[in-house]
Amino acid sequence: MTITNASVWQTLMAAGSAPTGVVRDASGGAEATYRAALPDGRLITLPIRELPGATGQGVASLIVNQAGFEVIDAFAEVMAESAAAMSAEVIIGVPTLGLELAPVVARRLGHRRYVPLGTSRKFWYDEALSVPLSSITTPGQGKSLYIDPRMLAVIEGRRVVVVDDVVSTGRSMTATLRLLEKVGCAPVGLCVAMIQSERWRPALAAIDTAWPERVHGVIRTPLLRRNEHGEWQVDD
């Protein structure tokens, strides 16, 4: 079986209709998927991507700008509930894929707008309001994360919640928090579609030991590893 973007991320399965975890290829092929549960029990099927570097490790992948609207709506609803519980007054979106979710979450909260961070430098940006950026999906690519100076008045003195698609290694989120610290903004929490393993915890705890408990995800997926037969299993 060949796993395509048309066969994953498009719909949700009913609660209790199948087990969670690694799903073997029933046709006997080498590919597998990972099935994760939303808080209400509904299920989503995710492809498994091997991490670069020939480590034999992999992660379940969620590319939200290729997901079906049913999936986006369901994830945004849970994220908005988490943001509301933190009394969010402003939603900040992290590029790239966090910008797909942030405006949807902000609308569900009844906000008139959201604040997007960016990686494309506009001519009026201040280089002092930027930090280096890398992520699990763009390793080794030299980019910077910016905030538009005109957005500073929008977030000043407000309860800010950051929205991103995935927290994995913590690199993107630590860059985001460093940038916001530069402008005097201390977010009250982070909402993500997927918490991808626990590798991000030390990075965020290094900023503030309370940060790991401020992270709220719709689904959780573990780090995976191929066994001696080449099959994916949870990496204990």
Closest CA to 106 of 125, 88, 131, 130: 88
What domains lie within the chain, and their CATH numbers? 69-220 (3.40.50.2020)
Closest CA to 88 of 164, 155, 151, 167: 155
Instruction: State the amino acid at position 107 in one-letter form.
Output: R
pLDDT score recorded for residue 136: 55
With tokens 């950026």, the residue in question is: 133
pLDDT band of 89, cuts 50, 70, 90: very high
Q: Where are the beta strands (DSSP E) in 25-73?
A: 32-37, 43-50, 57-60
Integer Cα distance of 40 and 57 in angstroms: 29
Q: pLDDT at residue 32 above 60?
A: yes
Residue-level pLDDT at 33: 93
Secondary structure in 3-state letters for 94-150: CCCCHHHHHHHHHHHCCCCCCEECECCCCCCCCHHHEEEECCCCCCCCCEEEECCHH
Least confident of 5-9, 169-173, 188-192: 5-9
Q: How far apart are CA 103 and CA 112, in angstroms?
A: 10
113-159 confidence digits (pLDDT tens):
999 999 988 888 888 899 998 765 555 556 899 999 999 999 999 99
CB 49 within 8 A of CB 33: no
pLDDT confidence of residue 15: 97
Asked if pLDDT for residue 179 goes beyond 80, the answer is yes
Residue 105: predicted pLDDT: 98
The stretch 160-168 carries a mean pLDDT of 97
Q: How confident is the model at residue 1 (pLDDT cuts 50, 70, 90)?
A: very low
Considering the entire predicted model, what is its pTM? 0.91
Average pLDDT on 164-190 reads 96
Query: How distant is the alpha carbon of residue 218 from its chain centre?
Result: 9
